[in-house]
Amino acid sequence: MLLDVYDLLPFDNPDGGAWKQGFDISYLDNQWDDQPLEVFVVPHSHNDPGWLKTFDSYYEDQTRHILDNMLIKLSEDSRRKMIWAEISYFSKWWSGIDEQKRGAVKRLLGAGQLELVTGGWVMADEANSHYFALLDQLMEGHQWMQRHLGVRPRSGWAIDPFGHSPSMTYLLKGAGLQDMVIQRVHYAVKKHFAQQQTLEFLWRQSWDSSPRSDITCHMMPFYSYDVPHTCGPNPSVCCQFDFHRLPGRRVNCPWKISPQPITEQNIKERALLLLDQYRQKSRLFSSPVLLVPLGDDFRFMESSEWDVQFNNYQKLFDYFDQHPELHVKARFGTLSDYFLSLHKRLSTAGTTLPTVRGDFFTYADRDDHYWSGYFTSRPFYKRLDRTLEATLRATEILFSLTLAEMRRFRDDGHLVANFPASDHFQRLTAGRRSLGLFQHHDAVTGTARDPVVVDYGNRLFRSILNLRQVLQSSAHWLLLLDKSQYNNDQSKPFMEMDDVMSAQDALPQKTTLTLSEEPRSLVVFNPTEQLRTSVVSVIVDSPDAKVIDAETGRPMTAQISAVWVEPSRASTEAFQLDFVAELPPLSLVVYHVTKASVGSSHRVHYTFSRHGNPPTVKSEHFQVSHLKGDEADTPLSLGNKHVQIWSSSETGLLQKLRLQSGLVRQVQVSFLWYGTSSARDKSGAYLFLPGPEGAQLYSSSEPPLVRVSRGPIFSDITSCFKHFTHKVRLYHLEGHAGRSLEISNTVDIRSEVNRELIMRLVSDVANGNRFYTDLNSFQMQQRRTLAKLPLQANFYPMSSAAFVQDSTSRLSLLSAQSQAVAALRPGELEVVLDRRLQQDDNRGLGQGVTDNKLTASLYQLLLEDRGGGAQEVGGASVEHLSLLAHLTSLSMCHPPITMVAPSDSQLPKLRPFRPLHSSLPCDVHLLNLRTLEDAQEAGSPSQEVALLLHRKGFDCSSAPPPSLQCTWSVHEEVNLDDLFSPLRFRSVRRSGLTLLREHDQPESARQQQLRPMEISAFRVEID
C-alpha cells in the first residue's frame, strides 16, 4: 500500500549528487556477461492538445509537420520507430491526408514501426477528471482507431499528468491494455521504488482481492520525460545525447556541455559514456531490459531533427553490435517491443513483479513544490466541465431511447424520415470530443494560458447548446401522441430550456415564463435510473401560480419565493416557483403551469438580520420579519423530519446538526484565506505554496446580511458576504432528498491579490489523522494527514466526495465539481473555492491565474450514524460511500432537466414517456447508453448501443433506519431484460470498456454478472 510507504519515508530531500533527488549508482563491469543488457530507445513527441497555444494553433504550427515528417522518415528506414498518444491530433491529421498516405500509415502500424499508445482522445488529467469523461475520451479514441486504422492500443503512456490515479488504470485494463508507463510521481516515492528495484510493479485496485484488475506499470525513475532525464541518472551526460541540441540548433544544454555529432574519431568514447548511463539506470530495475524514451514536447518537427537523432543513435547502436564484449543490444523500439521483451525475460527468470495498491497524489517535482494548486485552479471551468458531462450523458441516453422507440414505431427497423438523426449524431460526436479534449492535463486542470482557456470554454459552451438541441428534438418526438405532427424546425424549436447560457464565462440565467389562464407546458426529464422525488424550479412572472400533472390533472405541492435582485431587494417582475415532482426513471413527464387566483399559492416567509445595521428590505409580495432583541442572539434553526440544524444568527453559518436518531454533531462552517509564500517561489496555476502564517479567518468590515426563508418545500439560510454568498438549504421531502443539507456558494475574488478562499467544516468527529477522498468519482481512497509534510502536501484532489468518520458517525461532503480538499486537524474538512495568483510558478505556463469569474459551487453535506467496521481487502481498510451518499451524489450531479413549450403555440397532445417499469437496483448506475457509429455510413447512428453499467461498492455500516425506496441484490447476477423491462434487447454481447469488436464475447445470455465496484460494458441492440 502506498499509504504505508508515506508513513515510512522521511521526506528529507538530501542532495543525491549527479542524480540530485536520488543516490549514486554503482555496478560491476561483468554484471551483464550472462544476461546482456537489452535497450529499447523509444522516440516520442509529447503534443499537448492546448497549453500555451490553442489546439488548432499547435496543430497548424507544429503537430501536422511532426506527423507529415513521421510518415516520410519512418518509411526511409525500417529500423526506425515512433510512438504517438493523442488521437485528437492524429484524427485531425488523418482527415487531411490522401488515400496513398493513409495506406502508408497502415503499413507502418502493421510493421510495428509506429505504435499508437493509450489511444485516448487526449493524455488525460487523472486528478480532476470524472470517470465518465475519462472512459468517454478513451472510447472516442479507441472507436476512432478501430474504424479508421483497424488497430487497438496495447500499452498506456502517461508521462505528463501531474500525479496518477488507479481509476485510470482500471479503465485501461478494462479496455484491453496490459502494460503502462507513468512519470510524474513524488521524487521521494520514485527514490524509494528505485532503491527497492520496484519501479516496475503490478498495479492493483485497492478493493480487489484478486489479480483481475492488475496491470503492469513502469514508473520512470527521474525528474522529467525529456532526454536529459531519461537515458540515465546524470542529466548533464544525457543532454549530450539529445542531438536536437547540437551546437547551432534551436535548443541547448543548460549543463553547458553540448552534444557532438558521432564520428569515427569519437564513437568509442561517446558509446561508452552513454552505455555507462544505460547501465546505471538498469541497476534500478529487476530485469536486464531497459526502456529509454527519446523525445520531449512537440519534438521531431523538422526533417533535420529526425536525421540528427536517428542517424547519430543508429551509429551508436551499430557500435554496440560490433562490440559483443560490451554485452549490450540497443535499438529503436515501441512500448510494445519493450514490454514484450520484459515479460519474456521475467517469465524466463521466474520473476514476479510486486503488487502495489493506492494512488500517486499529491505530486511534488522538487523541494516543497507540491502540485496541489491545480486541484482548484480555474474552478469556473471545472464546474462547466461537469455541466457538459451531465448534459452529454442525458442526451446520449434520450437519443438512444428515441431511436429505439422510432424503430419500434415504424416496425421495419428504420428511423422516421424527417427526424435529423445523422445531424444529431454529429452533434453528439462533437459533444463527446469537446468533453474529451477538456480532460487533457492542461485543460480541466486550469493550467493553460488565458486565450487557450477561452477556446476550451467556447468549445464546452457550444457543445452544451448543440446537445440541448438534440435533447429537445428527441423529447419532442417521444412525447407526441400523434407522431405525424413531428416537424424539425431548429429556428422555431418545439421546446426550449428553462435557462439561457449567454456566454462561455457566464453562469446560466433562468428564463422568466409568462403565465396566463391558458396552461404552459413544462417537460421534465429525469436522467437518472432511479424513481426520484425532485424539486423543479422555474421563474414565472406572477406571485400566484399552480402546477398540475398534465396526465392526471393532480395538483402538485408548490411554493413561491422571491427572486432577489440585490441581497435585500426582491424583483417585482419575477418569482421563483418550486414544485415537488415524482419522476420515474429516465422518464419525460409533462406538467401544466397556470396563473392562479391572488393569494392562493404558498409564499415563502422571510426573516432578515444584519448585526448593528438592520437592512431595509424591499419586497412587496412576501411577508418579511426582522430579528430583534434577544432573538438576534439566539441561533437560527431549521429542521425537517430527518435533520435539524442550528446556525449563527450573526453570520448565518452552520454550527450544529442533529439527526432524527438523536445523533448530534458540532459542524461549524467558516471561510478563510490562504496567502502565498513571501519566499522567491510563490503559488501559481500548478503549485500551492501558502505563506507560513497558514489560513487566516475571513473577516469583513461590515457584518453579513443574513436572510432566512421558510416554505413548505424547502427552507434555507443565505449569508451575503462581500466575496461570496453562502446558502444552506433543507428540503422538506420524504425519501433521501430530505436527509442531506444542500450547500451552495457563489464566489467572486476578482478584487484580491495572491489569495485563495476556502470553506472549512470543523466537527467533533474523532477521526484522528485519517480521512477519505474520492478518486475520479469512481472509488474512495484513505488519506493520512502527516505532520512531517508541509501544509500544501496534505491537500488532495476531490472530484465528488470526501468524508471523516469515527465509530459512531460519518460526515460526508459531496460535491458537484472538482477541487482541492484537506483535513488538517481531526474533525476538519476544507475545500478550496477559488484562487487568484499574480505570478507564474515556473512550470512553463508563463503567467499567473487572474481570469477569475463569478463562480458557483454546489455541495451536499450528509451526517450518518455508523456501526460496524470497514471491509478488509488485502490488509487495507477499504471504505465506500453509503448507498444514501451514492444516491444523493447521483441526484446532485444529474439534476432533472426542465424544458418549456412556447406560450403562443397551439400545443399538440403530449403523452409522458416512461421507458422503464421500475428503478434499477440502487447500487447499479446506468453510466451511459451511447449510440455507436454506423460501420458503413460514417457520421450516422447504428442500431448498436453501448450499455455501460457500474455496480457501486457501498458501505453497509450506515444503512439508515427508514430504508431507501429502492432495492439491491446480494447476488452478483442480474437479468438485463428484467432490469430494463419493458425494453427488450434483440442482442446482447459483453465487451471491453471501449467496445472494441475484438473484445466482444459471443451472443451473451441475459443473465449477467455485475460485480461490486466493476463497470460492465455490453454491445446491445434495443428492440
> How far apart, in whole angstroms, are the C-alpha atoms of residue 327 and residue 922?
60
> How far apart, in whole angstroms, are the C-alpha atoms of residue 975 and residue 1006?
5
> How far apart, in whole angstroms, are the C-alpha atoms of residue 677 and residue 683?
7
Given a contact cutoff of 8 angstroms between Cβ atoms, the answer to whether 1005 and 973 are in contact is no
> How far apart, in whole angstroms, are the C-alpha atoms of residue 836 and residue 752?
7
Given a contact cutoff of 8 angstroms between Cβ atoms, the answer to whether 781 and 358 are in contact is yes
Give the distance, in angstroms, between the CA of residue 649 and the centroid of all CA atoms in the same chain.
38
Given a contact cutoff of 8 angstroms between Cβ atoms, the answer to whether 102 and 95 are in contact is no
Given a contact cutoff of 8 angstroms between Cβ atoms, the answer to whether 952 and 1015 are in contact is no
Give the distance, in angstroms, between the CA of residue 641 and the centroid of all CA atoms in the same chain.
35
> How far apart, in whole angstroms, are the C-alpha atoms of residue 502 and residue 461?
9
Given 160, 179, 774, 923, the catalytic residue = 160
For residue 804, give the nearest of 754, 853, 769, 839 by alpha carbon.
769
Active site residue 160: yes
Residues 6+ apart with CB under 8 A from 937: none
DSSP assigned state of 308: H
For 1007, the grid coordinates are 443473465
Amino acid at position 914, single letter: R
Question: Percentage helix, strand, coil, to 5, in the chain?
Answer: 25, 30, 45
User: Which H or E run contains 276?
Assistant: helix 267-282
> How far apart, in whole angstroms, are the C-alpha atoms of residue 342 and residue 7?
31
User: Which H or E run contains 463?
Assistant: helix 450-479
What φ, ψ does residue 594 adopt, rounded to 5°? -135, 165
The three-state secondary structure class of 522 is strand
Starting at the edge strand found earlier in the chain, the sheet holding 512-513 runs 512-513, 532-540, 569-583, 558-566
DSSP assigned state of 32: G
Most distant CA pair in the chain, distance:
100
Number of other CB atoms surrounding residue 955 within 10 Å: 25
> How far apart, in whole angstroms, are the C-alpha atoms of residue 449 and residue 684?
12
Q: Return the bridge partners of 756, or none.
A: 674, 835
Given a contact cutoff of 8 angstroms between Cβ atoms, the answer to whether 134 and 776 are in contact is yes
Given a contact cutoff of 8 angstroms between Cβ atoms, the answer to whether 696 and 676 are in contact is no
CA torsion through residues 124, 127, 129, 135, sign:
positive
Q: Where are the beta strands (DSSP E) in 870-1014?
A: 871-873, 876-878, 897-900, 924-933, 941-951, 973-975, 985-991, 1007-1009
For 609, the grid coordinates are 438580520
Given a contact cutoff of 8 angstroms between Cβ atoms, the answer to whether 161 and 184 are in contact is yes
Given a contact cutoff of 8 angstroms between Cβ atoms, the answer to whether 827 and 764 are in contact is yes
Given a contact cutoff of 8 angstroms between Cβ atoms, the answer to whether 141 and 120 are in contact is yes
DSSP assigned state of 366: S
Given a contact cutoff of 8 angstroms between Cβ atoms, the answer to whether 526 and 896 are in contact is yes
Q: What is the dihedral of CA 129, 133, 138, 140, to 10 degrees?
A: -140
Residues 6+ apart with CB under 8 A from 680: none
> How far apart, in whole angstroms, are the C-alpha atoms of residue 382 and residue 445?
8
Catalytic residues, which ones? 160
